[in-house]
Structure 1
Amino acid sequence: MTMSSSYPGRGVHGRVVELLGERVASGMIREGDTLDLRSLSAELGVSMSVVRESVRVLAAKGLVDSRQKRGTFVRPRTEWNLLDADVVRWRARGGDTARLMADLAELRALIEPAAARFAAQRRTENQLADLDQALDCMDRTRGDPRAHALADLEFHRCLLAASGNELLSRMDLLVAPGLVERDILVHSADPKADPVPAHRAVVDAVRARNPDAAEQAMRALLAAADADLRRLAGTALDPPNRKDRP
């Protein structure tokens, strides 16, 4: 069995979860398809108990279900937990990157400019220090795509927290999984890219308590992030059947 694993579970179980998750998310195992657990056990060289436990993990994420007389089958995409970090990663690796990144860009455009505006009005000195620290970490980790992605995520978490809105601050749960995958994708392709100045412009406006400038700086940051992806993949990042928006 040759499988790579990023799933937090350990050993064989984690590798089976990772492989099956990628197969479902990529469409290799399609909606409504039945999983032959005995065949999977033989193919992967693992016990039935490992396969069943792995299927239970996928079921908890909404990808599969089991019914008497029907067996284990892939659920409709509309029932998947699309915000689950593992599901996001499997989609990003399984050929669904275009739709994932387009959806993420739209979600961030709704959330983060407003968060920047509120942060400029409500931030505390401690929150401003957190933003500065996150910027420093981003600067130090340039050239290390994963470490840089995590530092970037921390910056955006700090900004959401500085909004002073408890519900808005938890929007990191929506953007975090996709943002990490997006940053790894971009910075792996161009490790010399420096996104710190665009982020610093947001912090400068927040520090100056200028909500208009903070919102504009965030919109510029998001536009640059979108441009980075388009330079990387051209129009391939435009998902099919998505109508142009004004």
Structure 2
Amino acid sequence: MAEYPGRGLHREVVEQLGLRIVRGDYPPGTRIDVEALEPELKVSKTVVREALRVIREKGLIDSWQKRGTFVTSRDSWKLLDTDVMMWRREARRDDDQLLSDLSQLRNAIEPAAAGLAASHRTPDDLAKLDAAFDAFRQAGENVDRLAAADLDFHLLILAATHNELFVRLDTVVIHALSARNRIQHHPGASWHDPVPDHRAVLEAIRQGSTPIAEAAMQYALRESDQDLTSGEPPLNPGSSDPRRY
């Protein structure tokens, strides 16, 4: 789901209230004193009303007659919403759990996406993937360029599936890579060279081989997960290593 596109005061109030809820300042079940928000945040009733409407759409709050506006239980939250995920990252309360959940979801989504891309990619898709890979390869140790090119590459694979539902899963990839990069780019962190893994995925997609593309992406993600847990490359998978193809 896309982030709330509002600007100015509306956006600021949405972010303030959303972060407070996700951070736990307002635990589930807490009644929100709507009337007090106007003087506290120094905004109009209209701004408060619009912000609460947006937050309600994300499942964080609800309103009942006689009970008023209250924070809902976590199982009502739209956890794949871009803003909710961003607030979870900003709150820094469950970094390990969020990273683990995102990694598991990527492991389910991206190999399948790579396999579909191998079957459905067009010449235009391949040209865009080639450009993204070249930018990734040439980024060297420039952290910002590397992260941007890596994100482009993975999102282009989703696009190359030509399945609009896979494309809508970009939120998962965006936040997973951003959370991973925050850890990997910490001073003292080390990780394996990601270029060979990305090249293997690209070549499998170019060859139109669904099983090899899936295996290549699975291996790339496995190495990425291993970097996060130990900083060491995974054991050589032998003949199953997709980079041999």
Whether these two folds match at TM > 0.5 is: yes
Q: 2:241 — aligned with what?
A: none
How far apart are 1:231 and its partner, in Å? 5.0
Match of 1:102 in 2: 100
Inter-partner Cα distance in structure 2 for 1:29 and 1:206: 47
Distance 1:222 1:27 in 2: 32
Match of 2:13 among 7, 16, 19: 16
1:219 maps to 218
Q: Which residue of 2 aligns with 1:91?
A: 88
What are the Cα deviations for residues 157-214 of structure 1, in whole angstroms up to 9, with x where unaligned?
32233345x2563353452442353255245426997634322221022223444432
Corresponding residue number in structure 2 for 1:79: 76
Ranges in structure 1 where 5+ consecutive residues have no aligned partner: 1-5, 233-246
Q: Which amino acid aligns with 1:58?
A: I
Quote how far apart the aligned CAs of 1:16 are.
1.6
Return structure 1 stretches of 4+ with deviation > 4 angstroms: 139-142, 147-150, 190-194
Which residue of structure 2 aligns with residue 60 of structure 1?
Answer: 57
Query: What is the deviation of 1:48?
Result: 3.1
Q: Residues 65 and 74 of structure 1 are in contact (CA less than 8 Å); yes or no, is this contact kept in structure 2?
A: yes
Q: Distance in 1 between matches of 2:142 and 2:230?
A: 19
CA distance in 1, matches of 2:68, 2:138: 51
- The one-letter code of the counterpart of 1:33 is T
- Closer, same or farther: CA 148–9 of 1 in aligned 2, 3 Å: farther
1:84–1:177 Cα contact (<8 Å) kept = no
Output the CA distance in 1 between the equivalents of 2:35 and 2:67: 15
CA separation in 2, counterparts of 1:202 and 1:63?
38
SS of 1:34's partner is coil
> 1:59 offset after TM fit, Å?
0.8
Residue in structure 2 matched with residue 39 of structure 1 by the alignment: 36
Count of matched residue positions in the alignment of Structure 1 and Structure 2:
225
Distance 1:198 1:24 in 2: 39
Cross-structure match for 2:66: 69
The answer for the alignment partner of 1:240 in structure 2 is none
Aligned partner of 1:160 in structure 2 is 158
Deviation, 1:220, is 1.7
Give the corresponding residue for 2:199.
Answer: 200
Distance (whole Å) between structure 1 residues aligned to residue 52 and residue 199 of structure 2: 44
Cα deviations by residue, 1:19-44 (Å, 9 ceiling, x for unpaired): 11111112221111111123333333
**Whole-Å separation in 1 of the counterparts to 2:42 and 2:165:** 46
CA distance in 2, matches of 1:150, 1:7: 22
Give the TM-score normalised by the residue count of structure 2.
Answer: 0.77
Unaligned runs of 5+ in 2: 232-245
The aligned runs of 1:97-136 (5 Å cut-off) are 97-136=95-134
Aligned residues: CA RMSD:
2.9
